[in-house]
Amino acid sequence: MKTRKIVQAAMALTLTTAMFTGCAGTNSSITVISREDGSGTRDAFTELMGILVDDTDNTVASAEISNSTSVVMQSVVGNKNAIGYISLGSLNDEVKAVSVDGVAATAENINDGSYQVARPFNIATKEDISELALDFVDYILSADGQAIIEEEGYISVSDAESYTSAGLTGTIVIAGSTSVAPVMEVLADEYKALNEGVTIEIQQTGSSAGMTSTIEGACDIGMASRDVKDSEIAEGLIPTVIGMDGIAVIVNHENAVENLTSEQIRGIYTGEITDWSEIQ
């Protein structure tokens, strides 16, 4: 009696395994990887690609959701059928960035407007900002600050004059987007080198958390990798664009696809195209 039960269990297990292997086969069905709702990168990507129509995000429900750039990249590295999107500044050799409408994802192409998938990096401050924080904002927008933004792979937005130190001292607390933070760290280091006696503390909390902290006065400057919302501006935030960031559409190196049109990307992300064989 007991043996029979064990045999039954073993059979059931084999059957389930067989079921899985059965549906595997040779497949090239696309694994769509997206970011979480509310992510600055996702907001920008869905809007630019026409996936967001009339405030409705049409991203296919079966899309995998990752909450960080590194997990998106790791997933694409490990899956030859995956497609994802990340900030251009984070792109490296582990994955392949495809051209969009025949234009490669490079800083130059974003600068001359031919690569369309780009979004603003914002900082937000309150009216009663400290003199020191204001000086730091001036530095970011100065020729020196913008040069650093370009060096880091982003696109400058201001052509102000170069910066001269005002000799201020004190502490600046900056909080917000994890996408903006890496370039902010570099800016802060350079600023500290120019201004002795200044400490800058950068907290990576995410765009919305950064905006909330700035409203509440917990930090001096908030960072957002998306547009600052009207509800946040109503609370007294003043947004400033400090640079532009491209969004790279990435696939695995084993994937033969080199170029996708915007329609194809939209099709993939809305679930109309589900297999790589549908893409020429």
Partner 1 sequence: MHKYKETIMHGVFLLSACISVIAVITICIFLFANGIPAIAEIGVFDFLLGKNWKPLENQFGIFPMIVGSLYVTAGAILIGVPIGLLCAVYMAKFCPQKLYKILKPAIELMAGIPSIVYGFFGLMVIVPMMQNIAGGSGKSMLTASLLLGMMILPTIIGVAESAIRAVPECFYEGSLALGATAERSVFFATLPAAKTGIMAGVILGIGRAIGETMAVVMVCGNQSVMPKGLASGIRTLTANIVLEMGYAADLHRDALIATAVVLFVFILLINTLFSIIKNRSKD
In the complex, the residues that contact partner 1 under the rule CB under 8 A are: 16-17, 20-21, 23-25, 27, 29, 31, 36-40, 55-57, 61-67, 71, 74-75, 78-79, 81-82, 178, 205-209, 211-212, 229, 231-232
What are the C-alpha distances in Å from 150 to residues 124, 156, 243, 271?
21, 6, 9, 35
Show Cβ contacts of residue 227 under 8 Å, excluding neighbours closer than 6 positions.
43, 120, 122, 239
Q: Closer to partner 1 at the Cβ: 164 or 231? A: 231
Q: How would you class 78 by CB atoms within 10 Å of its CB: exposed for 0-12, middle for 13-18, buried for 19 or more? A: exposed
Taking the complex as a whole, how short is the minimal distance between the CB of residue 64 and partner 1, in angstroms? 5
What is the Cα–Cα distance from 152 to 161, expressed in whole angstroms? 20
Q: Closer to partner 1 at the Cβ: 141 or 273? A: 273
Query: Is the CB of residue 154 less than 8 Å from the CB of residue 245?
Result: yes
CB atoms within 10 A of CB 245: 28
Taking the complex as a whole, how short is the minimal distance between the CB of residue 27 and partner 1, in angstroms? 6
Taking the complex as a whole, how short is the minimal distance between the CB of residue 126 and partner 1, in angstroms? 17
Q: Closer to partner 1 at the Cβ: 162 or 231? A: 231
Taking the complex as a whole, how short is the minimal distance between the CB of residue 199 and partner 1, in angstroms? 24
Taking the complex as a whole, how short is the minimal distance between the CB of residue 45 and partner 1, in angstroms? 13
In sign, the C-alpha dihedral spanning 168, 169, 175, 181 is: positive
Structure tokens at 274: 């589900």
Show Cβ contacts of residue 242 under 8 Å, excluding neighbours closer than 6 positions.
121, 122, 123, 140, 141, 145, 149, 157, 158, 180
Taking the complex as a whole, how short is the minimal distance between the CB of residue 268 and partner 1, in angstroms? 14
What is the Cα–Cα distance from 61 to 269, expressed in whole angstroms? 9
Q: Closer to partner 1 at the Cβ: 56 or 280? A: 56
Q: Closer to partner 1 at the Cβ: 67 or 169? A: 67
Taking the complex as a whole, how short is the minimal distance between the CB of residue 204 and partner 1, in angstroms? 9
Compute, in degrees rounded to 10, the torsion defined by CA atoms 231, 132, 194, 242: 20
Q: Closer to partner 1 at the Cβ: 109 or 177? A: 177
Query: Is the CB of residue 198 less than 8 Å from the CB of residue 170?
Result: yes
Taking the complex as a whole, how short is the minimal distance between the CB of residue 279 and partner 1, in angstroms? 18
Q: Closer to partner 1 at the Cβ: 37 or 151? A: 37
Q: Closer to partner 1 at the Cβ: 51 or 149? A: 51
